[in-house]
Structures are given as C-alpha cells and as structure tokens.
Chains A and B, each alone.
Chain A
Amino acid sequence: MAPQPGQSSNHPLPAKELGCFKKIIKSYEQKQYKAGLKLAKQIMSNPTYAEHGETLAMKGLILNSMGKTAEAQDCVKRGLKADLGSYVCWHVYGLVQRTEKKYDEALKAYKRALMLDKDNVTILRDLSLLQIQLRDYEGYLASKYDFLRLRGNQKTSWIGYIVAHHLVKDYDKALGVMEEFIKNNKPDGYDFEHSELILYQNMILREAGRFKDALHALEQNSTHIADRVAYQEIRGTLLMELGHFEEAQKVWKQLLDRNPESLEYYNQLEACLRINGNEKDKLKMYDDLAKRFPRAAAPRRLALYMVEGEELRTRLHSWIVPMIRKGAPSLFASLVPLYEFPKKVEVIETLINEFVKKMDDEGYNNVSLEENGEIEPPSTALWLYVLAAQHFDRVGNVQLALNYIERAYQHTPTLVENLMLKARIYKHAGEYEEAARLMDEAQSLDTADRYINGKCGKYLLRAGRLEEAEKMLSKFTREGEKASSHLTDMQCLWHEIECGKANRSLNKYGEALRRAHHVEFHFNTMIEDQYDFHSYCMKKMTLSAYVKLLRLEDVIWRNNYYYQAAKLAIKIYLRMLDRPEDMNEQNGLIRDGMSENEIKKMKKKLKKQKELEEEAKKKEKEKEVKEEGLQRGPQIDGEQLLKTAKPLEDAAKFCQHLHVLGTQHVTGYALCAEVYRRKNKVLLVLKCLNEGSKLDSQHPLLHIQKVKFLTYWPTVELNGVVKDTAEDLVKTIFGNETDAKNLNEQFKIANQHSFAHRLAYAEARSSYEADSSLNKWLLKSVEDETVNGRSLKMLIKLRDGIEYGKYGKWSSEEITELKRLAHLKYPLSIEFGGGLAKPKSETE
C-alpha cells in the first residue's frame, strides 16, 4: 500500500501542512474551489513548500475544474517536475490532460501513477474509463481484471469484467463469467436488473452465433424477463435464425396485435413468409393484415407502394378520402414514395383532378366522394385543395400550386397550414422573401407553436434576414440571452447548418465556417458525453443498451447533419485556395458596373458596420464572462478560422470523418477526392473514388473527380506496395479506360438527357481543355426540353460555378443570356432577378 496523499512523495508534509492538504482534497470533492485554492496558498507560503509537488498538483486540479485550463496545465506540470515519484502528481497530471483531450498523454500518466501505487482503485477506474472511451478493449479488459481482483465483492466489478470480454469478442469467457455471476446472484422475485442481465446474456449468445442456446436460455428465463416486447422480438428473430418460420410468424403477428404500426414487424413477417419477390403473395399478406387491423394505417399504406394502374387508383381513392375529410397532415408524406414513378404520379394527378371536378360540378356543399350518399363535411374541399397544391408543388407546377392554395385560403382563411404551404411553394419557386413573409404570418396565427416558430426562423435565414431570424427564434429560447447562443448550447444542429449556409450566401465565410465547426464541436461533445454512461450503465445493469450506445457512438460521424457541416466547411476551405479574394467580405458585394466612388463608399460603410459588430460581440462576451464566471460552449472565432495557413489540412480533418466510417453520400466521396488529390494522397483519392463508384458509378460530381484524377495520374510517381495497390485500384475503378478525354466523352453520350451530368461533363472538360463552344452547348441545354433535371437548384449551381470559374471563360453576354433563360423558366426566383413586385416603399 502506497502512503497517503500528501505524504506519498519524496517530500512529505509535516502535521500542520498535512492537515491543510487533507482539507484541500475535501474542498475539491465538495466543489469549494475558492477555499481549496486558499489552503494551497497557505501551504506554499511556507518557503520550504513553495514548490511542493502534490500541493501544486491539487491546485492545478482545482483550477482545471474552474475552467482555467492554461493555469491548470502550468501547475500540474510544475507539480510533476517537483515530484516525479508521487502517484498523486501523475494521476492529477493525467486528469488534466484528459480534460484537454490529450488522451495518449493521459493514458500514459495514469499507467505511471498505477505503477507507483499498484492497487489504487480510483486511478484504476479513471484508467479504465479512458480505455473504454478510446476503445482500447484489450487495455480495458486488463483493467477490469485488476478491478475484479481488488474489488471482487462488488457487483460492478463482475459486470465490467463480463462486458470487457464481450467487447474483445471472447464470448465463451464472457458467458462463463456471466453464468458464475448469475449463480451467485439469484434474484428473489421480481428483479429488473436480473431481467436486463438475462437479455444481455442473450445478446452475447446471439453475437456468438449460438442461436439454439440463445432460444433455450430465453424461453427458460421467460418469467424473469420484464421487458415483454423485447422478449418477443428476440424470440421472433431467433426462431427465424433457426429456420422455424411458422412459429416466428406467430410471434410477429402477436407483436403486431400490440402495435400494428411497426414497420419492422411487417418486414419481419414478410421475411418469414419468404415471399420477398412475390408481389402477389405479399399484397395478400398486407390485405389480410389490413382486415385484421381495421384501424391501422401501415398495412394499407405499404400496400399502396406495391400496386400500379387501376389497382393503385382504387386503393388511393379509399386511402385519400377519409384523410381529406379529417385533414391528416401525414397524407402527402404517405404519397411521397410514389413520386419516384412517373406512371404513378399520373394516377395521383388524375384522381386529384377528378375529385376537384366533382367538387366543382356538384358544389362542395352537396358532394359525396363515396357512393353511400353521406354528404362530405366542409373540410373535405379544404384538404383536397391543400393536397392538390402539395401535388403541383411537388411536380414543379408553381402556378397551379398557387391557384389551389388560394382556393384553400378562400375556403378557410383561418387555417395556419394554408399559409405554411403557400410559403413553401414560394420557397421552392425561389421567392425567399415572400416565403419568409408568409411563414411569419402563419407563425403570428399561432404563437404558441414552436414548430412554426422554428420554420419561420429557418425561412428568414433562407431569405438572408439573419437578425430577424434571431429575434423570431428568441421567442422560444432563454430570456436575456441571444437566441443563437442558446441554440448552440442546446446543440440545435439544423440551426447551425442554416446559419452557416445563410452566412455563406452573404459572403461571410468566417461566420459560415464557425457554424460548421460548431457542428463538429457538438458531435465531439456527444462522444465526450459517453463518459457518463460507462459507469452509470454498469450500475443500472442496462447492458444491452450500453453496448448499443458504444456502437452508435463509433459511427456517429455518419449522421447527416455532420455530413452537411463537413460539406459546407470543405467547400469553403477549397474556395479559400481557389479564390482567396472571396474571403474578403467586401469583394463579394462589388457588383458589375459600380463606379469607383460607389465602391469606395460601400467599403467605408462595411468597415464601419464591421467595427460596430465587433464591438457588440466583445461586449456580449464580456457580459457572458461576468455572469457565468467562465465561458460556455464552443469558443471558436470565425475570423481566426479564415486566417488559417493550411486550409487543406483543415478541410482534410472534415474529410477524415466522412470517408473513414463510410458515407452514404457520393458527393462526400467526391469532395474528399478533391481534397486528397490536392494533398497528393493518391491512395486516399482512389479509395474515395472506388467507394463512391460502388454507390453510383455515374454520379456527376464523382465523374468530375475521376476525370481530374486521370489527368493527374500520369504525373504521380510511386513505388513499391503503394504503386501496386494504386494500380490495382485504378484498374478496379476505370477498367481499361484511363484516358481522361475518352472517359469524359463516353460519360457525355451515356447521360445526355440529364442536366446534372451535362454540367459535370462541361466542368470535367474545362479541367483539361478550354473550349468556349461549351458555353453555347450549356445554354442550349438549359432550354432543351429533352434534358431532365433543369431545376432551379441546378441552374443556380451553374451560375455559381461559372462565377467560380469551373466552366471556363464566359462572356458577360453569355452570362446575361443564362440569367434571361433562367428567369424565363423560374420567374419567381429572386436569384435570377425575378420575384413578386415589391411595394414601392420597400424598394426605395
């Protein structure tokens, strides 16, 4: 046993100081930081102990908890230097490094401390927590073994030991220890913890592939399992694994009796009936279930997706009518999967038109959509018009969509959804101003609804009205605090992304980057938050859920919000390299045809504005510091991010998270390929191209990267294994076609009816040769009725791409022509000079 803290060093304290030291530890544990610091000062005021190692360590630990990390670092380092033989100094040094996220340092320090005090359970606990956090499973197992050795009488020691074996996939050992543990901890009567343990045991059995044993154990322990749904679900899965489909079917049906809306159960039942692929049997299954559950929506809805033509029409009729009577907001969402198929869209449109005609012919006061003679309630017409507006919005017919929403509004002017949908239609048409105005009106009708409030904030951000958005959102955030900092505290991811994009549109790249980094910060926080669960779940015995949590955290970077943020950040870093002049906010505001004087004036105005903003920011920060004592949340400065000396490195950090775990987004791989090519990381480029190709080999953005790679490939010099691997990958991705030009021309022919692919062809081509006839071809494509996907979004991408220089040199006449064509096609789009006429007072 090592000596007590305070005496464990080569510099033991005498009685009086030792008393003081013990009090410091107490103050720290009770979070009485100021008192603790005072005591430390008292000891160190004695010249003999001015550099007393363990006292310095404790002082550092307290400062660390107060958020004063720089001072804390200094103290613990000095402490360690003064007393290398003290486990306290090493332990504390590790703790402080951990807070600073220097995990390797921390790990080393803990281990060193343990060498000095072998059986110190506190240090052992800290070490094992860090090991599991870092997924050092082997190390974790070793620590858990020590724990069991030292604290064999504690339940959690055993549980930790079992989990550790499970995580290193030593299932037999895990199960063996578990059996031993259960034998010695027989529950008397109802015991939730025991129930969780049984379920966990079953999870391990299943992962070990021992399905028969798992089923046996499950059924034998049935009475002990409190979570009956989990019991049934596991039983169903196991019966299927063992090929007992008849029995499994019964289980899933029983589960459906409990919850006839669970899509998972329907899927499983389908699998049981082994009817995957046979649509007719499948349909019959759903129809039978629809009869069995007359009030359930799921079997009817799922059946809609399996039929077409007349059958679809009949089913849609009986699906839609009750929903438009009631006004079910989910109606349109339930139809969305059908929009993938043009034939099915036709069926929907015909049906809607028929309903509308019937309403018009018979008058909506006297109409009946079914044959039983019951009159339609007045709300049927309302929701029918809403549905029609949603439909025509979806298929891009803005005028009809607006007509229908107007009819809905005339019918029932009090309906909040009318205004929301109208706003949405204008948003899709590119009229962000009107969209925001309408959403604001919708919001005003029901100010107790946070959903609409959030929508309104989002629409204001889309319109570039950042301050108004802030004000709107503050109606639901903490009083006396800026809405955006509160939302950052709450890890509100959509808000970060929308703010980032809004700022990017306003050329405020620093602020946009800051938002992207906030998202990264939030995900890191979520990973950090695991710490709370490592010991908590052991105590509560919720082990299946715990292991699932660990696995979720392992892939948390796959989340779509992170992808959005990474995309935003990577593009800005690339822009920093390609167009450094853009990073200066003023440049983005200089329009063609501005006079010298105007530019000068604007610059002056901007400078002043910026100064004011800085001032306000500073004041706010000061206020925060004053109120809180320390700063909360991410302390990231946008301006600082813009000043980075190595944008590629910064971008690569975001890329790393995308490609290491694998992303579902081909665009993600394309962006990574761009970054890695510039960094000369040939193998990583090839990995990304290969993974992307697996998802969609004809993806336009990936194609550009492939062409760029082929131009770059001949300049690459590699040798050894790297060379072999690279050549293999090139073969896998490109086959025999390794000529950039040929690849591009083939791509053009194969995808000539897609606008997005045409843009990709042009961008790829501009990367290896200049040809201004491409401009004419692209302009023609904009008008060409045989080319699909000439959406507003793609046209904006083309315009922005031209500005960026992706499509070679464009004359101002050509740009004007593009804008003219785009305006013609999308007259409401503000981006191309369209939109609703503004009242005079506003334009002036």
Chain B
Amino acid sequence: MVAVETVSEGLRKLDVNGKPIRKVAGNARVVLGDITPHNILQLKALHNAIFPFNYNDKFYTEVRGSGELTRLAYFNDVVVGAVTCRINNSTDKKSLYIMTFGVLPVYRQFGIGTELINYTLQLAEKDESIKTISLHVHIDNQLALNFYKKHGFEQQELVENYYELLPSIDMKHEAYSLVKKIRD
C-alpha cells in the first residue's frame, strides 16, 4: 500500500500568477503519496515525459529509498507530478536540495505544483537543522523561475556548466541557483 494523503479538493483553474479563474467540474482530488520500489518506474515515466533528458539508474536507486524526501502527486488517482529532494551536507549549513520538481504539462495551473512545493517547505520547517532550500533552474525556463520566486525563492548566481555533463542535448548549459532561507 502506498501511503497517501488528500491535500486538496474542489479545484480551480489558475492563471499564471496562481489566481483562480474558473471552477473545475466534478470533484477533482489531489493526493500526495510515497515512492516505493513498487512504483518507482512511474516516477521514471513521469520524468521522461517532463524533462528533456533522462536521469540515470543511480538517481532512481537513491530516490527509491529516500522516504519522505520524495512525493508523487496524484490527480484523481493518476500520477501527474513529483518532487524529489536530498539533504545537502556539503557546506557548513545543512540545506534541503530539490533535485527534480515537475507536473505533466496538461495538469499544470491547477495548483498541483503549489501543493508539492508547500509539502517541501513543511519538510524543511520540520527539521530544525535545515537552514535553506535550494535548487537549480535552467536559464530559459521563465515559467519555473516565476513559480519559485512567487514561493519566496531568491535568484542567486548563474552556474555556467550546470547541465554540461548531460549527454549531447541541444540546449544551453547554464542554470540559475535559487535559494529560500528557512531559518538562521
């Protein structure tokens, strides 16, 4: 059994700024659930559909055992989004790093991303040793930049070769680093 928890019901269609515009018919339900070895390939299918490159097996092995650091978002019982995080201990400040974050294109602007980011914020707030949440966004991904800024992330330096290691993909290699301070 996958542990699930309903996070919202009676959805509204939102505009790009997150303002509700129209009521959604029926009783659409958004639920967040665990990642397990049993459904890990659903996460992979989701990633392959959202991102222009594939994550390697090592990534999925890590995610598979990451417990509450990873969540799948279900829309009416179908997996449509996910967030995967890791704890970064590399610097002196412990931080929650968002490795991947995404919702299938047709399911965007219904507040599912917001539910996922809220979950991540709660995760960070729960653990007192975590000082910041950080992530990287591709330089051309304006929608994502807006989304994170709206949720209190601050744009930091440009990392020039962030996507360099990716196999021959025809896209720029720069990414912005974004950080949200949780506590001092």
Point out residues on A near B: beta carbons under 8 Å. Answer: 322, 325-327, 364-365, 368-370, 372-382, 411-416, 444-448
Contact = CB atoms under 8 A, between A and B. Distances in A.
A438 B140 CA distance: 36
Contacts of A373: 22-23
Contacts of B26: 322, 325-326, 377
Q: How large is the interface on B (under 10, 10 to 19, 20 to 34, 35 or more residues)?
A: 20 to 34
B80 A414 contact: yes
B38 interface: yes
A805 B38 CA distance: 50
Contact of A445 (B25, B39, B106, B110): B39
Contact of A377 (B24, B42, B104): B24
Given A374-B24, A377-B11, A414-B49, A445 B78 contact: no
Interface in B1-34: 1-2, 11, 13, 22-28
A445 B24 contact: no
Nearest to A415: B78
Nearest to B39: A446
A447 B38 contact: yes
Given A375-B13, A382-B78, A413-B46, 17 more contacts: A325-B26, A325-B28, A326-B27, A373-B22, A376-B24, A377-B11, A377-B25, A377-B76, A378-B80, A379-B78, A380-B25, A412-B106, A413-B48, A414-B79, A445-B42, A448-B1, A448-B36
Quick one: which of B22, B26, B48 has the most chain A CB within 10 A? B26
Interface in B37-55: 37-39, 41-42, 45-46, 48-49
A741 to B, nearest CB: 62
B68 interface: no
18 contacts: A322-B26, A325-B28, A326-B27, A327-B78, A365-B106, A373-B23, A374-B22, A378-B106, A379-B78, A382-B78, A411-B106, A412-B80, A414-B45, A414-B78, A415-B78, A446-B39, A448-B1, A448-B38
B104 to A, nearest CB: 6
Nearest to B112: A378
A326 B75 CA distance: 9
A378 B36 CA distance: 26
A413 B45 contact: yes
Interface string B45-78: 1101100000000000000000000000001111
B107 interface: yes
Contacts of A368: 25
Contact of B46 (A327, A411, A414, A447): A414
Contacts of B25: 325, 368-370, 372, 374-377, 380
Contacts of A378: 75, 80, 106-107, 110
Nearest to B50: A413
A413 B22 CA distance: 26
B102 to A, nearest CB: 12
A378 B24 CA distance: 9
Contact of B39 (A375, A377, A448): A448
A181 B102 CA distance: 73
A368 B23 CA distance: 11
Contacts of A448: 1-2, 36, 38-39
Contacts of B76: 325-327, 377, 379
Nearest to B82: A414
A414 B42 contact: yes
A-B pairs, 4 with minimum CB distance: A325-B26, A448-B38, A374-B25, A414-B79
B107 A413 contact: no
Contacts of A444: 41
A125 B169 CA distance: 82
A322 B78 CA distance: 16
A447 B79 contact: no
B165 to A, nearest CB: 25
Nearest to B12: A375
B104 A446 contact: no
B184 to A, nearest CB: 40
A791 B131 CA distance: 67
Nearest to B77: A327
Nearest to B106: A378
Contacts of A365: 106
B151 to A, nearest CB: 22
Given A325-B28, A412-B104, A446-B39, A375 B22 contact: yes
A364 B24 CA distance: 12
Contacts of A327: 76-78
Contacts of A411: 106
A379 B28 contact: yes
Contacts of A416: 42
A363 to B, nearest CB: 10
Contacts of A380: 25
B45 A445 contact: yes
Given A377-B28, A413-B46, A445 B22 contact: no
Given A445-B39, A446-B42, A413 B49 contact: yes
A84 to B, nearest CB: 64
B37 to A, nearest CB: 7
Contacts of B42: 414, 416, 445-446
Nearest to A325: B26
B4 to A, nearest CB: 13
A446 B2 CA distance: 11
B137 to A, nearest CB: 23
A370 B106 CA distance: 20
B71 to A, nearest CB: 14
Contacts of A326: 26-27, 76
Contacts of B45: 413-414, 445
Nearest to A448: B38
Contact of B23 (A374, A379, A412, A446): A374
A207 B47 CA distance: 65
Nearest to A374: B25
Nearest to B38: A448
A477 B13 CA distance: 46
A575 B65 CA distance: 56
Contacts of B104: 412-414
A371 to B, nearest CB: 11
B17 to A, nearest CB: 17
B42 to A, nearest CB: 5
Interface in B73-103: 75-80
Nearest to A441: B41
Contacts of B78: 327, 379, 382, 412, 414-415
A365 B109 CA distance: 10
B75 A445 contact: no
A447 B37 contact: yes
Contacts of B79: 414-415
A377 B108 CA distance: 11
A476 to B, nearest CB: 12
Contacts of A377: 11, 24-26, 28, 75-76, 110
A325 to B, nearest CB: 4
Quick one: which of A364, A372, A411, A414 has the most chain B CB within 10 A? A414
B30 to A, nearest CB: 10
A443 to B, nearest CB: 10
Contacts of B36: 448
A840 B91 CA distance: 51
Contact of B24 (A322, A375, A381, A447): A375
Given A413-B46, A414-B49, A446 B24 contact: no
A41 B23 CA distance: 86
Contacts of B106: 364-365, 378, 381, 411-412
B47 to A, nearest CB: 10
